[in-house]
Structure 1
């Protein structure tokens, strides 16, 4: 996941956010396939990332752009450097067991 993070295209902010969102979902699903992670979106998805990453970086920090950015026609004020830092920290430190989501 860290190698894939380093290769994400940074040309178009919307595409970048879509790619990052997909990478985070794939990483979470690989860690705990019995959770219904694929169905999470919006605030629930950010809350899951915060809980499993033991932070508030997704609901309150730079990664909050994942809330609407992947679905917006354009994105402004995107701090890709900070977003990559948050994503890298989550990939390295996430613990799906911290999530309160029940097993399917």
Structure 2
């Protein structure tokens, strides 16, 4: 089990990024959350099998939304993250 925090920088708000990220997470069996931050970034918590998390990270870095553009991601493994039952979209 791998747990990561991802802060996504770029044009990632108002372009369907959270919705598409949730679809990717659901497809890969990832649990966690995604939310917009006031500074224009998107915050993600993701938990799942290592291979699924690695695939998820690759898809996030490539931007799951065709309208978005990811400049870079800050990725941190964090074993203290809560394991959630599903992947949710939240609001700040």
TM-score range, shorter chain: 0.3 to 0.5
Which has the bigger relative contact order, CA under 8 A and spacing at least 6? 2
For normalisation by structure 1, the TM-score amounts to 0.34
For normalisation by structure 2, the TM-score amounts to 0.37
Structure with the higher fraction of residues in strand conformation: 2
Structure with the higher fraction of residues in helix conformation: 1
